[in-house]
């Protein structure tokens, strides 16, 4: 039977694929929108006031950002080395879409791609013009020049679909991509963790971001256990990796939430994650739910987490930014 030999969790945000000179490019946008933080909704100025005692301004400098980027890139390379060393035959990558291939007309809570090919074509000029301020420079970090096509794994994907359906997960099934680009959650993994040479991959989508059908923490955890059942009952000698893409807290960094989450991974304590409350898992912080299925799977198979680094990357005194986490289960 197939064997799960590796687990990976990696952040994927634009700060990881852009120069630190433009890490503050999104701050003007931060100042005009409201932000989810600690079960509430805050303006930029309200966050500055609420967090003034943290003295976050000390974290907003080119020197700090350069040091943080070195740490982040080192961890990414370590994860890529671990992936290469594990001689993986097929990967199951769990991520979320941010209106890249789905939109409000149809957002599945869970979806599994079972097609032969995963397309990751470059944006049209029209599509690029619609990219939010500060995001355009990051696009090459997710889509290679000239675009790419990556191998899916229909056999394993169909087996996963059947198993999770048997376990009462009514997943959407995708034989092709709704749009010709790969959402950045997967594009980052293909480009950086697999170093532009992807193994056949099953994409599993979690609707972490968008109400009203965001799955709960417990539901995501149980999905991971169901995926383990599928892989371990698949008649193959394949070596399989499970990879989570996204997180940690953003667009408001909350080191307390992140450390609770990472401690829960170490202790295999899903109850501690649930105890945070569903209200915490909003905006980018919701991407922690991409990690939860992998955590559930790793607890089932007995692989132990190694937290390579945790780097809270602030871009403003309000605490906006992206906390970066890098974990390997072996």
Q: Could you tell me what percent of the chain has a pLDDT over 70?
A: 100
pTM exceeds 0.85: yes
Classify the phi-psi angles of 106: left when phi > 0, otherwise alpha if psi is within -120 to 50, otherwise beta: beta
pLDDT at res. 309? 99
pLDDT at residue 239, as a whole number: 99
Confidence of residue 254 (pLDDT cuts 50, 70, 90): very high
Per residue in 16-51, pLDDT tens? 999 999 999 999 999 999 999 999 999 999 999 999
Given a contact cutoff of 8 angstroms between Cβ atoms, the answer to whether 144 and 138 are in contact is no
Segment 50-74 shows an average pLDDT of: 98
What is the pLDDT averaged over residues 273-286?
97
- Tens digit of each residue's pLDDT (9 = 90 or more) over 137-190: 999 999 999 999 999 999 999 999 999 999 999 999 999 988 888 999 999 999
> Average pLDDT of the chain?
97
């Amino acid at each position: 039977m197939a064997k799960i030999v590796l687990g990976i969790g990696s952040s994927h945000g634009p700060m990881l694929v852009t120069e630190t000179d433009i890490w503050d490019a999104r701050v003007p946008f931060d100042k005009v929108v409201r932000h989810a933080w600690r079960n509430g909704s805050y303006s930029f100025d309200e966050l500055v006031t609420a967090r003034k005692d943290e003295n976050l301004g000390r974290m907003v400098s080119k020197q700090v950002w350069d040091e943080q980027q070195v740490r982040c890139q080192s961890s990414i390379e370590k994860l890529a080395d671990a992936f290469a060393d594990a001689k993986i035959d097929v990967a199951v990558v769990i991520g979320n879409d941010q209106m890249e291939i789905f939109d409000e007309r149809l957002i599945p809570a869970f979806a599994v791609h079972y097609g032969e090919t995963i397309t990751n074509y470059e944006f049209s000029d029209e599509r690029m013009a619609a990219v939010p301020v500060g995001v355009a420079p990051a696009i090459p970090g997710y889509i290679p020049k000239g675009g790419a096509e990556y191998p899916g794994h229909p056999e394993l994907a169909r087996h996963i679909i059947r198993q999770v359906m048997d376990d009462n997960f009514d997943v959407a099934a995708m034989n092709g991509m709704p749009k010709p680009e790969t959402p950045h959650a997967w594009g980052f993994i293909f480009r950086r963790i697999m170093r532009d040479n992807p193994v056949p991959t099953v994409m599993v989508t979690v609707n972490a971001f968008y109400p009203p059908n965001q799955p709960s923490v417990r539901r995501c955890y149980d999905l991971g256990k169901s995926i383990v059942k599928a892989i371990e009952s698949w008649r193959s000698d394949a070596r399989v990796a499970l990879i989570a893409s996204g997180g940690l807290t953003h667009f408001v960094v909350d080191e307390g939430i992140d450390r609770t989450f990472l401690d829960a991974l170490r202790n295999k304590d899903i109850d501690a994650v649930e105890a945070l409350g569903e209200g915490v898992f909003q905006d980018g912080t919701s991407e922690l739910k991409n990690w939860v299925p992998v955590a559930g799977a790793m607890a089932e198979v007995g692989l132990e987490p190694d937290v390579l680094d945790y780097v809270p990357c602030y871009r403003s005194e309000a605490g906006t930014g992206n906390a970066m986490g890098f974990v390997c289960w072996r």
